[in-house]
Amino acid sequence: MAADTRAMHDTASLLDLAEVERAAVAIAGAARVNIFGASGSALVGEEMQFSLHRIGIPVWAWTDVHNGLASAALSRPGDVALGISHSGETGETIELLAEASSRGATTIALTSFPRSPLAELADIVLLTATQATTFRPDALSARHPQLVVLDLLYVAVAQRTHERSHAAFQRTAQAVHGHKAAKDA
């Protein structure tokens, strides 16, 4: 827990809030958002997709390279592509972000390495810090800081689209309400 706490503090000191703002504005105004990641980064991307989807943002998280490339190839100006990779060196994620970029999408990288190939490719870079431990190497220890940064980004998007987001969240919450267990009075 101490390593995670240190990683969160280090991430907070690294994070450029102006870049978070730029990313939030781009996502809030996007016609389409594609999220790319592999392995653990894909799981983080799916969490972001879930959050944004609940507030009505048209978003897809791609873990299959072929499907991701097809979606990236359909990108246009006004779309956003978010690539997640702790190392910033995951070839598939770089390829997917490059394809979306070549089609005019605004690109965002979430990585721990500002001089990585993924970061150098992106229009907007969001940085995380990690604290490796014996049983959690850097890539695994990156998950919590990544989730915190993406949650901050999600809240920033929701704030910028407050009325639309609030209405969408209310509708989606109502739609699943009947699937919750009844509470005893």
pLDDT for res 83: 98
Element (H, E) at 46: helix 40-54
Do residues 11 and 148 lie in contact, with contact meaning Cβ atoms separated by under 8 Å?
yes
Query: What is the rounded radius of gyration, in angstroms, for the C-alpha atoms of the chain?
Result: 17
**pLDDT of 26-83, one tens digit each?**
999 999 999 999 988 999 999 999 999 999 999 999 999 999 999 999 999 999 999 9
pLDDT for res 131: 60
pLDDT for res 9: 73
**pLDDT of 114-127, one tens digit each?**
999 999 999 999 99
CATH topology of domain 2-161: Rossmann fold (3.40.50)
Question: d(Cα 138, Cα 165) in Å, to the nearest integer?
Answer: 34
pLDDT for res 141: 67
- For the chain, domain boundaries: 2-161
pLDDT at 22 over 80: yes
Residue 136 burial (C-beta neighbours within 10 Å; 0-12, 13-18, 19+): middle
